[in-house]
Amino acid sequence: ELLIQHSTESLALEVLLNPEVSTFRQCFQNMMLSGTTHKHVIHAGYAFGGSGDWILRDGVFSCHDLESALHDPEVEQALRKQRFHTLHVHCSPEGSWRQPPVGVSLNPPDIVDQLAGSNHLLSCLDTVLTSPPLTSLLPSSSVVGNIRFRRPTMYVFPGGQGDCALFGVTGFTLLVDGGFARKPCFWEFVRHLDRLDSVLVTRFNQFNSCGLTALAQRKALERVYPQVGHVFCNAVKSPSDEELQKDRDQLLVSVVAQGLEFLQGVREMGLAPQACRQDQHPLTLYHKVGHGTLEMYVLSPGRANDEDSSVCVLLVWRPAKVSEPVTRILLPGSATQSVIFEGLKKLSHLSVLKSRAVTAETRIGLKKPKVQEKPVRAASVPPRPGVARRATGKVESPSPSPTPPEKPKATSKVKANKPVEHIAKRQAEEQKKAAHKAAKKEPKKTVIDKIAEQVDEKKEDKLSVKDET
């Protein structure tokens, strides 16, 4: 990023080289707040074909962004104070730029072909504007190794308006998208890795194509680390003849052409990209006994939808240890909210989606089948004293003593084909009851009676001894 400024009494000039989106917006706002009546914005860099969005360092600047900047309260107040002002914009007439906002003149005709000092400015820019080769933009590394992750880890890289992340567990790494910039934001990290086990491309659009294409082109030039094991992406359609004619301008970048260059680089690496379609069964990305399993559920697009190439997936890490939590990561891509909910609804049978925090223990508890209780026969339940039986309609008389009922002993089940055993059992129970009643009728002996009995027994023993002598 470089800023060149020059000002005189009648002219103020600012030249931005490879600016970020925030820098350009700030400079544009400063220009609109200035008191000059004639304002010119010239975009001489790359733009995306079809949309016409200007390609900056970390994102794009569209016609909609220009309109929102003009509706800023401070800018509107400054323009009201000026009786007369003009805003001329020079860029490729693509997409929404063909209908600029009110008060903006697009590509007005030149009045003067050449100005004094313009050649000096162009010669100065030639020394600054350089296009480094891909080998120097993405240098290789002599220090290569692997990372031992203590737990599932997600690295999120500053991809500008694009997305880029690296998911890793010990023994496996997954690169998700590549960010916006031509110099991939992940390169300084992954060039020290021995291997990228998988690369997942959620979508090919103007926010995500440049970084992935640079990676594929760099790998196709020479054998450098990291090695790539597998690529998940949906195929990109070949551009039509009309699109090729539109993109003949050297300053227009085709997203479709970028996607085809990426696929060509993948094939030169000896890999075959695997398409991602919706399925209730997961793709097992990694499994190790005693460590865990990494699964990928594809939520969209559907198998019958060939137009949508955006991929929405759910990553589920199931650790082998029962106490460790299950990790769930949703990568939505460009899917809408309704598409995501529809895909998750088809996975409602998964136990890992039924709770906010899930471990192997809770997962087992969710899958535990319900045990049906065996019905208890009415004959095996002993009748309570003083309670009416509904079957016969008779009321039992209360027992004479408040003694608690005896605990029923465990008995073997009586079969219906043995009536003799059943009768014998009833007779034994009646004898026990009769003995119990007889014992209750006997008077209770006091302590004095017991002592008298012991004295009588001793006297009888002495008399028996005398008789023997």
**3-class secondary structure per residue, 260-289:** HHHHHHHHHCCCCCECCCCCCCCEEEEEEC
Confidence of residue 412 (pLDDT cuts 50, 70, 90): very low
pLDDT on residue 364? 52
Q: What is the mean pLDDT of residues 328-337?
A: 93
Residue appearing with tokens 């003694």:
403
CA-angle at 464, arms to 462 and 466, nearest 5°: 70
Cis amide leading into 325 (omega within 30):
no
Domain ranges for the chain: 2-128, 138-366
Tokens (6 digits) for 463: 């008399």
- The proportion of the chain whose per-residue pLDDT surpasses 90, expressed as a percent, equals 42
Q: What is the mean pLDDT of residues 170-191?
A: 94
CA-angle at 201, arms to 196 and 204, nearest 5°: 145
Classify residue 21 by its DSSP letter.
H
pLDDT on residue 36? 84
Is the per-residue pLDDT at 191 higher than 90? Answer: yes
Best mean pLDDT range from 34-43, 111-120, 130-139, 224-233: 224-233
Q: Are strands 104-106 and 153-156 parallel, antiparallel or unpaired?
A: unpaired
Q: What is the mean pLDDT of residues 103-107?
A: 88
Is the per-residue pLDDT at 375 higher than 70? Answer: no
Residue 7 pairs in a beta bridge with 12
pLDDT on residue 214? 94
Output 415 or 254, whichever has higher pLDDT: 254
Q: Are strands 104-106 and 86-90 parallel, antiparallel or unpaired?
A: parallel
Best mean pLDDT range from 9-13, 218-222, 450-454: 218-222
Cβ–Cβ contacts within 10 Å for residue 115, how many?
A: 9
Q: What is the mean pLDDT of residues 143-152?
A: 90
Residue 292 pairs in a beta bridge with 288, 319
Tokens (6 digits) for 96: 């929404």
**Whole-angstrom Cα distance, residue 21 to residue 27?**
10
Is the per-residue pLDDT at 337 higher than 90? Answer: yes
pLDDT on residue 396? 45
Is the per-residue pLDDT at 379 higher than 90? Answer: no
Residue appearing with tokens 């004619």:
245
Is the per-residue pLDDT at 268 higher than 50? Answer: yes
3-class state of residue 397 by DSSP: coil
pLDDT on residue 395? 44
Is the per-residue pLDDT at 399 higher than 50? Answer: no
**Whole-angstrom Cα distance, residue 138 to residue 60?**
22
CA-to-CA separations, 245 to 156, 236, 254, 264, 388, in angstroms, rounded: 38, 19, 11, 21, 98
pLDDT on residue 454? 73
CA-to-CA separations, 361 to 319, 326, 355, in angstroms, rounded: 11, 10, 12
Chain mean position to CA 440: 78
Is the per-residue pLDDT at 330 higher than 70? Answer: yes
* 219: nearest Cα among 132, 273, 140, 146: 140
Confidence of residue 460 (pLDDT cuts 50, 70, 90): low
pLDDT on residue 393? 45
Cβ–Cβ contacts within 10 Å for residue 191, how many?
A: 18
Phi/psi of residue 246, nearest 5 degrees: -65, -35
Is the per-residue pLDDT at 373 higher than 70? Answer: no
The pLDDT tens digits for 218-255 are 998 888 999 999 999 987 766 665 655 555 678 899 99
- The proportion of the chain whose per-residue pLDDT surpasses 70, expressed as a percent, equals 77
Residue 253 pairs in a beta bridge with 48
Confidence of residue 84 (pLDDT cuts 50, 70, 90): confident
Q: What's domain 138-366's architecture?
A: 4-Layer Sandwich (3.60)
pLDDT on residue 199? 96
Q: Is 433 left (phi over 0), alpha (psi -120 to 50) or beta?
A: alpha
Q: What is the mean pLDDT of residues 402-406?
A: 51
Classify residue 353 by its DSSP letter.
G
Q: What is the mean pLDDT of residues 276-298?
A: 93
Q: Rounded mean pLDDT of the chain?
A: 81
CA-to-CA separations, 375 to 384, 387, 414, in angstroms, rounded: 20, 22, 17
Q: Are strands 227-228 and 292-300 parallel, antiparallel or unpaired?
A: unpaired
Is the per-residue pLDDT at 133 higher than 70? Answer: yes
Q: Which of 108-122, 282-296, 444-458 has the lowest mean pLDDT?
A: 444-458
> How much of the chain is helix, strand and coil, in % rounded to 5?
35, 20, 50
pLDDT on residue 461? 65
Is the per-residue pLDDT at 326 higher than 80? Answer: yes
pLDDT on residue 415? 45
pLDDT on residue 441? 55
Q: What is the mean pLDDT of residues 377-395?
A: 48
Output 115 or 274, whichever has higher pLDDT: 274
Is the per-residue pLDDT at 377 higher than 60? Answer: no
Confidence of residue 329 (pLDDT cuts 50, 70, 90): very high
